[in-house]
């Protein structure tokens, strides 16, 4: 920071400069990461809260930088989004996820109805040829569209309702399932929800975490579950970390759970092991 005299420092300017430099480096690095194969997709099990079996996986992107090591998606996804690199990166994630799932389905009888959930960013969703890309990926992987779930957030729909609705309907025509991610944290698109072909609401973990104590969040989770069911949707709770969470969520009528209580996101190899052992909770 620059000393401007009388105890005033120009911390802000140099900070902004550092951030701009960091951002440019991150863009260069992200581009290179895709070319050099530094990305991996991890898979976090989604569990049926009644039966305790795996119903599918959420695909979560991982980046191992050769010098900096593991870099969190919270750091690089926003940069990938801002630079537009999320489009080719996201397409790569879709391709990996569909082909991994297809392998598991072919390899294990008890895996033939598993699904894979893939996060779709706002920019990716706005891409002109998203549907063609998805068709190609399904064709190349041999996966039936009904086993693919796309996770979008409320921000994808807000301000873009008619276009979003039309794309969602075309995805639905391919039997692809649609989830609203981080439900309850975004701007409310509640008034439109019943007119969108959405199958699943994912309750954000900020609502799930406090439900093991007696408090208002339990009412919020209950309200989301009731809303979902009245619209013929299912509910996945994110951030399930304890047995008490599981018990409470079951009592509240939530169908599925995902979180460290069951499993952290796994490498494709570890997910294969889990399936080979027919793991149950
Ligand atoms: P998300 O879609 O809400 O994913 C769930 C995040 O919660 C993941 O973080 C997951 O590792 C973490 N998580 C799962 N269970 C628990 C738990 O029990 N406790 C806690 N505290 N956390 C849990 P992750 O992998 O760091 O990803 C962060 C975000 O980055 C994701 O949030 C998603 O928005 C974004 N992201 C990750 N992969 C992709 C991708 O391929 N494409 C796009 N567009 N976004 C992605
Ligand atoms: Ca997600
Ligand atoms: Ca989420
Ligand atoms: Ca979340």
What would the pLDDT profile of 185-211 be if each residue is shown by its tens digit? 876 657 788 899 999 999 999 999 999
Closest CA to 116 of 142, 73, 150: 150
CA dihedral sign of residues 65, 70, 71, 77: positive
Angle at alpha carbon of residue 102, lines to 101 and 108, rounded to 5°: 85
Neighbours of ion ligand 3 (CB under 5 A): 181-182, 238
Instruction: Give the integer Cα–Cα distance in Å for 249 and 228.
Output: 14
Please tell me the predicted confidence (pLDDT) of residue 20: 75
How far CA 162 is from CA of 109, 124, 159, 195, 236, in Å, comes to: 41, 17, 9, 11, 26
Instruction: Give the integer Cα–Cα distance in Å for 261 and 246.
Output: 9
Of the given ranges (9-13, 69-73, 175-179, 266-270), which has the lowest mean pLDDT?
A: 9-13
Question: Which ligand 1 atom is the nearest neighbour of the CA of 121?
Answer: 44
Please tell me the predicted confidence (pLDDT) of residue 217: 82
Instruction: Give the integer Cα–Cα distance in Å for 274 and 236.
Output: 21
pLDDT tens digits for range 19-56 = 777 777 888 999 999 999 999 999 999 999 999 999 99
Instruction: Report the DSSP beta bridge partners of residue 117.
Output: 58, 149
Instruction: Give the integer Cα–Cα distance in Å for 39 and 266.
Output: 14
Give the start-end residues of each E strand in 146-241.
148-153, 177-183, 200-203, 234-237
pLDDT over threshold 70, residue 81:
yes
Share of the chain above pLDDT 90, in %: 75
Pairing of the two strands 54-65 and 39-48: antiparallel
239 lines ligand 1 (CB under 6 A): yes
- Region 76-102: what's the mean pLDDT? 95
pLDDT over threshold 60, residue 172:
yes
Instruction: Report the DSSP beta bridge partners of residue 206.
Output: none
Instruction: Give the integer Cα–Cα distance in Å for 183 and 114.
Output: 23
Q: Count of CB atoms within 10 A of residue 177's CB?
A: 21
Instruction: Give the integer Cα–Cα distance in Å for 161 and 90.
Output: 22
Q: How confident is the model at residue 98 (pLDDT cuts 50, 70, 90)?
A: very high
Please tell me the predicted confidence (pLDDT) of residue 13: 59
Please tell me the predicted confidence (pLDDT) of residue 8: 52
Give the start-end residues of each E strand in 51-153.
54-65, 69-71, 115-119, 148-153
pLDDT tens digits for range 53-69 = 999 999 999 999 998 89
The CA 60 to ligand 1 mean position distance, Å, reads 6
Of the given ranges (87-101, 144-158, 181-195, 226-240), which has the lowest mean pLDDT?
A: 181-195
pLDDT over threshold 60, residue 74:
yes
Assessment of whether the complete model's pTM goes beyond 0.90: yes
Question: Which ligand 1 atom is the nearest neighbour of the CA of 80?
Answer: 44
Please tell me the predicted confidence (pLDDT) of residue 100: 98
Please tell me the predicted confidence (pLDDT) of residue 196: 93
Average pLDDT, the chain: 91
Neighbours of ion ligand 2 (CB under 5 A): 119, 151, 181
Higher-confidence position of 260 and 17: 260
Please tell me the predicted confidence (pLDDT) of residue 227: 94
pLDDT over threshold 80, residue 214:
no
186 lines ligand 1 (CB under 6 A): no
Please tell me the predicted confidence (pLDDT) of residue 184: 84
78 lines ligand 1 (CB under 6 A): no
Higher-confidence position of 267 and 3: 267
Instruction: Give the integer Cα–Cα distance in Å for 58 and 56.
Output: 7
Instruction: Give the integer Cα–Cα distance in Å for 281 and 279.
Output: 7
The CA 186 to ligand 2 mean position distance, Å, reads 14
Closest CA to 105 of 34, 57, 37: 57
């Amino acid at each position: 920071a620059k000393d401007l005299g009388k105890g005033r420092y120009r911390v802000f300017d140099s900070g902004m400069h550092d951030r701009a430099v960091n951002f440019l480096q991150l863009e260069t690095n992200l581009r290179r990461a895709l070319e050099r194969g530094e990305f991996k997709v991890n898979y976090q099990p989604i569990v049926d809260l009644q039966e305790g079996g795996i119903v599918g996986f959420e695909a979560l992107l991982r980046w191992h930088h050769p010098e900096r090591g593991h870099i969190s998606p919270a750091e690089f996804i926003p940069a990938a989004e801002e630079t537009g690199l999320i489009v080719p990166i996201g397409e790569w994630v879709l391709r990996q996820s569909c082909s991994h799932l297809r392998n598991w389905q072919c390899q294990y009888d008890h895996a033939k109805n598993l699904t894979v959930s893939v996060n779709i960013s706002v920019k990716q969703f706005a891409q002109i040829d998203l549907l063609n890309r998805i068709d190609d990926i399904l064709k190349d992987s041999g996966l039936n569209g009904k086993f693919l779930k796309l996770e979008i957030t409320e921000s994808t729909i807000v301000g873009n309702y008619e276009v979003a609705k039309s794309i969602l309907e075309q995805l639905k025509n391919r039997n692809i399932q649609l989830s609203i991610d981080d439900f309850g944290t975004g701007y409310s698109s509640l008034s439109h929800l019943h007119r969108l072909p959405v199958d699943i609401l994912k309750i954000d973990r900020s609502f799930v975490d406090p439900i093991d104590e007696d408090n208002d969040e339990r009412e919020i989770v209950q309200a989301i579950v009731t809303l979902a069911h009245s619209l013929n949707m299912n509910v996945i709770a994110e951030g399930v970390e304890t047995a008490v969470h599981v018990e409470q969520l079951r009592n509240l009528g939530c169908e599925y759970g995902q979180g460290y209580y069951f499993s952290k996101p796994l490498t494709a190899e570890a997910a294969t092991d889990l399936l080979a052992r027919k793991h149950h909770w």
